[in-house]
Amino acid sequence: MDVEQNLSDQLERLEAGENLDAILKGLPDEEGTSIRLAAQIMALPKPTRNVSIVRSQHQKVMQAAQAMRQTKSSLFPLSARWLIPIGGLFILFAAVAGLLVGITWGTGEKRPVPVGIARDNTPTVVADTSPIFEGESVTGFLPTPVITTTNPQTAFLFSVHGIVQVQTKDGTWNTIQTAEIHAGQTFRTWNLSSAELVFFDGTTVELSQNTLVTIESLDFQPSGSRRISLFQPLGETHHRVVDSNTPSTYVVRTPNAQGEAKGTTFQVAVKDTENSSFAVVEGEVTVTGQQTTVNIVPGQITLVQADTGPSEPVVWIQDEGVVSQVGSTWLIDGVEFQLYEGTQILGNPQPGDMVAVQGRELGNGTRFADRLEKLMPALDNQFRLIGLVEAMGVTQWTISGQNIFVNEKTRIDSGVVVGNVVLARGFIQASGNMLVTDIQLLDKHTRFEFSGLVERGTENAWSISGISIFTDENTEIFGEPLPGDIVHVWGEVIEDGTWLAYSIEKVSLPGRFEFVGLVQMLDPWSIRGVSIRVNHLTQIDPSVDVGVMARVEGRILEDGTWLANEIQSLNGDQTTLTFIGSVENISPWVVNGLPLNLTEETVVVGDISLHSLVRVYAHPAEDGSWLVSRIEWLETAPTSTCIEISDVIVSLNELEITLQSGYVIPRTVAEISGTLATGYTVFAQLCFGLEETINFASITVVPQVEPTPQPEGEEGETVIICHIPSGNANNAQTLTVTTSSVDAHLAHGDYLGACQDNDSNGPPNDKDDKNPKDDKNDKNDDKGNGNNK
Amino acid sequence: MADLETDIIQRAQNGESKAVGELYMQHHEQIFRYIWSKVGDANLAEDLTGEVFMRMVSHISSYRPAGVPFQAWLYRIARNLIVDHVRKNSSTLAIPLENMALVQEQGISPSSEVENKMTIETLQKALNQIEHEQAEVIRLRFLVGLQVNEVAQRLQKTPAAVKALQHRGLAALRFAMR
C-alpha cells in the first residue's frame, strides 16, 4: 500500500473518532507527524453560523431570485433585434431642458406595445418574499461585518467599484465600500465607479459612474407598503422596483420634478440640469415635465427638454453591430444612424469595429444615435503570433519556424534577441505574407499596462481600479494624479507578486489594459488576482485553463469592471497563432492567404463555407505548416481593419500627414511612394490597430495634373534595392525602401537596383512582386491614371 | 440524490425562489466554513457567504450541470470573492477586536479566542507558504471537514490525486510551520 493511501486510511480512522495514540502506534515518524498535525488542525474550534444572519440571507437570496425572475420575464425577445437591452448597461441620452420631471407608474390603461416587443406585466407574487419585520436583519449578506441592522428604514450601498462616497452631516464626503443609508443622505459615484443600492423589499437601484443621488424619504410600513423618494440631479440610474401588494409609492425626482413608480424596471439619465431622459424595460412609466405628461412602455424612451417637457415616446434602440461608415451618418450593420451634437462616442470606433449603439427611432424611421461605444476592434487580417525568436533579419524574422516580415516601421521592444519568446502582431497581406507591426517581448517578469481610476495614493502605494500598485525611486509620475483621477500605468509584476509601476501618468480617458498572469479561475474569471469579465465577444484561446499563464487584454468599463477582449495562453514556449479572416479555399484550406492544415482533431465550430469569416487558432506543425486546433465561424459580416481611400492632403509636417477626410497619419507608420505636397491627391491604405490609431499606412501619390517639382532627397522618396539578409545571402530580395533607409541597407551589403539572381531559397522575386507594397506601386500607375482628377 | 439536486438547480434557474432557498440551505454551512478557513474571520465569512449566494442567484442561469459539479461551481464563486476581497483589503485578515462580542456569544472565552486566533493565524501563514492546491486540500479536509471524495468533487480531481495532495500538503505544512 502506498504511503498516500496509508496516510489517508489513518486519517479516516482519526475522523471516525479513534484514539490518536492508537492510530500512531507503529507508524513511521514522518507519517505520525503528519497525522498529529492534521489532528491539531481538526481540533481547532470552528465557528458556527449566526442563526439570524442565516435566516436573513436565506430570505434575501430568495428575494433576489424573485427580482431576477421579474426582470428576466421583461426582457425583449432576441428577435426584436433593435430593442434588446444590453445587460447592465444604462442608457445615456441626450436631450434637453431641466424642468420638472417625474415618473409615475401607470395604473391605468396600458398603451399598445410596439411591434417586436414582448410584454409581461403580470406581477409575480411569491408568498415567501414579503417583507420581514420584528428583528429580522436584511444586511447579513453585505460584504463587510460592520453593516448589520434590524431597521427596515434604511437602504444599503454595496457592490462598489472604484470610488463611491457618502456625504456626512458636515458636508464632507466619506469613501465607502458598503454603507447603510438613511433618508436624507446623499451619495455619489466617481469616474469608472459604480454601486448598487438595495432597499428592504429587494428594490434595487444601480448607479453608474458620475452619479449623484439623495434618498429624500424612505419608509416601510409593517403592512408592506413602501414610500421611497429619490432625487437624482446627475448621472444614470437603473431601477428595479419590486412589486407591492399594498399601496406604495416609488418616486424619482430630477431637478424640479417628481414622480412615482412601483413594480417596474426603468432607467433614468440626467446629463446635466438641462438634459435628461427616461426609458422603460418593464411595466409602464409616466413622465411629467412642464405640465406635459407622457406614458412610456417597454422599449420606449422619452427625452425631457427645457421649456417643452418630455417628448413623445419613441422606440428605444440598443444593439451591437459592425461599423462600416462614420461621419454625420453612421452605418452599423447596414443600418443608418444620424449623429447630433449630443451623441456620446466612446472608444473612438473606426470602420470595422464592433460597437454598441443606443439611440432612438423616430416615427418617420429616422434613427438617432445617443451613444456609441466601441466593443471590439476589427481583427480581420490581423494576426497575433507567440513564439520563439529563431532569427532576426532586416526584413525577415523567423519565429518558431515561421517567416514573418518586418520593416523600418515595425515597433520592436528593446532587448529582443534570438531565443526570446515574443508576441508579434501585424497583418496578413493579400499575398499571405505576415507583416509585423509590433513585436513585444514576453519575459518571465510580466509586464502590465492599463488605464484606471486612482482610488488611493500614498508615497509608494497606490490603489488603481482595484489593483495595489507600488512605486519606487525609479517610478516616473506625471501630472500629479490624485484620487479620482484616471491614470495610465505601466510596469512589471515582480517576483513576489508586487505590481511595480515604471510610470503613472494622468490621462483624460480610460483606455485598455494588458497584463500577463496565472489563470486562477474560470467563470467567473480571475487572472493574477484580477476579476475579469468576459462576454460573447471575448476571444478565449481554447487552451486557456486554470493554472495556465495567459496574456489578457481588454478595457476597464465605466462601472469599473475589467472586460477582456482576448485571453491568450502563454503556456510553455508553444507557438500560437490567432487571427480572423475570410475563407478563400476549402480543401485545401486557405484563410486570408495562409494555407492551413485541418485534421480530425481540429474543432470546427459553425457551418463554415467559402468566404465565411472565421476565427482561427493554430500551431505550427513540424513541416512548417499551420495546424489548426480550432476554427470558428463568425456571424459578423467580413470587414477589414484596413481601408483604402483616395483623398487630398490638406497639410503635412515632419510628424503627420493630414487628409481632407480628417485622417491624420503619423509619418512613423507610413510607407510613402512618391513625393508628398499639400493639395496632392493620394491613394492610401490605412490600417487601424487596437488603440484605434492608424498603425500602418501605405500612401501612394497619384500623378498630379500639374506636378510640382519635387525637392531633391525629400523624405518619402523610394529606391529599389536588393536586400541580402544577414547570414543568408541566398535569400536575396528586391525591396522598395525609403531613401532615408538606403544607407543602412548599403552598409550591410545590400546594393541598389533589383536583385540579379532570383535563384534563391527565400521568397522568390515573383513573390516579392506580390507584396502589396509593390502592388501599390504597380497599382499606383494604373490606379493613379484612373484616379487622376 | 444527484437527480434531486439537478431538479432543484433547474428550478432555481427558472427563477423559483424556493429552489434558490433550498440551495442556500444545502450549501451555506460548508461555504461559510470554507471561507472562514481562508480568511480566518467568522464575521467576515458570514458576510462573504451571503455575497456568494447573491452571486449564485445572479449567475445561476449560466451554470451548466454538464460542466462542473454545482458544489465546485459554488466554491469557485467563493474563491473569486475572497480574491476580490483580499485585493480590495490588502492589509490584514486577522480577527478584529470588535468581533469579540460575537465570539463570546458563541461561547468561546476571550482567552481561547486569542489562543485560537494565534493558531489560526499561524496556520494561515503556513498554508500561504505551500502550494495552492495542497493548501486547498488541507483546508477542505481538516477545516471544512469534507471527505476525500467530496474534496475531489469540489476540486474536480480524482480521489487518488487528492490523497497525494493531502500527503504532500501535510508534509509541506510541517516544514512551513517549523
pLDDT at A100: 29
Residue B162: pLDDT band (50, 70, 90) is very high
Gap from A536 CA to chain B (nearest CA, Å): 13
Other Cβ atoms within 10 Å of A7 Cβ, number: 22
Query: Can you give the pTM of this predicted structure?
Result: 0.47
Question: What is the pLDDT, as a whole number, of residue A212?
Answer: 92
Between A44-53, A205-214, A296-305, A748-757, the lowest mean confidence (pLDDT) is in A748-757
Q: Which of A77-81, A351-355, A777-781, B22-26 has the highest mean pLDDT?
A: B22-26
- The CA angle A85-A87-A91, to the nearest 5 degrees, is 60
Query: Three-class SS of residue B80?
Result: helix
For A108-134, the DSSP string reads SPPPPPPTT----------GGGS---S
B51 touches chain A (CB under 8 A): yes
Give the Cβ contact number of residue A636 at 10 Å: 17
Give yes or no for residue A215 having a pLDDT over 90: yes
Contact A285, A266 (CB under 8 A): yes
pLDDT tens digits, B30-85: 899 999 888 888 888 999 999 999 989 888 887 776 667 888 888 888 888 887 77
A560 touches chain B (CB under 8 A): no
Residue A135 has pLDDT above 60, yes or no: no
Handedness of CA A348, A352, A357, A361 (dihedral sign): positive
Residue A91, pLDDT above cutoff 70 = no
Q: Is the pLDDT of residue A549 over 50?
A: yes
CB contact under 8 A, B47 and A143: yes
- pLDDT tens-digit map of A714-736: 444 566 677 666 555 666 666 66
Cell 457567504 locates to B49
What is the reported pLDDT for A572?
Answer: 53
Residues of chain B with C-beta less than 8 angstroms from the C-beta of A68: 15, 57-58
What lies within 8 Å, CB to CB, of A584 at 6+ separation is: A590, A591, A592, A593, A610, A611
Contact status, residue A641 vs residue A352, Cβ threshold 8 Å: yes
| Model pLDDT for residues A415-429, shown as the tens digit of each residue | 888 888 888 888 776
Copy the grid coordinates of residue A201.
423589499
pLDDT digits (tens, 9 = 90+) for A488-547: 888 887 767 778 898 898 887 766 788 888 888 887 788 877 888 887 777 787 778 888
**Dihedral angle sign, alpha carbons of residues A577, A579, A581, A583:** positive
Q: What is the pLDDT of residue B170?
A: 92
Residue in the block written with cell 507591426: A437
Res B153 pLDDT > 90: no
- What's the gap in Å between the CA of B153 and the closest CA on chain A? 16
Name the range with the highest mean pLDDT among A99-103, A126-130, A199-203.
Answer: A199-203
State CA A538 to chain mean position distance. 8
Q: Each residue of B76-116: pLDDT tens digit?
A: 888 888 877 776 665 433 333 223 333 333 333 333 333 34
* CB crowding A422-434: b at 16 or more within 10 Å, else e: bbbbbbbbebebb
Chain A, nearest residue to B95 by Cα: A145
Residue A431 has pLDDT above 80, yes or no: no
Q: Does the bond joining A707 to the residue before it have cis omega, within 30 degrees of 0?
A: no
B residues 9-48 closer than 8 Å to A (CB): 12, 14-21, 24-25, 28-29, 32-33, 36, 41-48
Q: Which has the minimum average pLDDT: A58-62, A458-462, A499-503?
A: A458-462
Q: B101 vs chain A: nearest CA distance in angstroms?
A: 12
* In contact, A526 and A520? CB cutoff 8 Å: yes
What letter would DSSP give residue A706? S
What is the rounded average pLDDT of the residues A306-316?
82
The answer, yes or no, to whether residue A778 has pLDDT greater than 80, is no
What is the per-residue pLDDT across A343-386, written as a single tens digit (0 to 9) for each? 888 877 877 777 888 888 888 888 999 888 877 766 556 677 87
pLDDT above 60 for A468 = yes
- In whole angstroms, give the CA distance from residue A6 to residue A13: 11
Parallel/antiparallel/unpaired status of strands A626-633 and A594-605? parallel
Q: Is the pLDDT of residue A615 over 70?
A: yes
Residue burial A764-775, b: 16+ Cβ < 10 Å; e: rest? ebeebebbbbbb
Q: How far is CA A763 from CA A154, A405, A596, A619, B159, in A?
A: 74, 11, 19, 22, 56
Model pLDDT, residue A106: 30
b/e A458-486 (16+ beta carbons within 10 angstroms → b): eeeebbbbbbbbebeeebebeeebeebbb
Average pLDDT, chain A: 72
Name the least confident of A172-176, A448-452, A773-777.
A773-777
State the Cα–Cα distance between residues A147 and A185, nearest whole angstrom.
Answer: 16
Whole-angstrom distance, CA of residue B24 vs CA of residue A370: 42
Confidence band of A88 (pLDDT split at 50, 70, 90): very low
* Binding-face residues of A in 69-88 toward B, CB within 8 A: 69, 72-73
What pLDDT does residue A69 have?
A: 66
At which residue does the C-alpha cell 460573447 appear?
Answer: A536
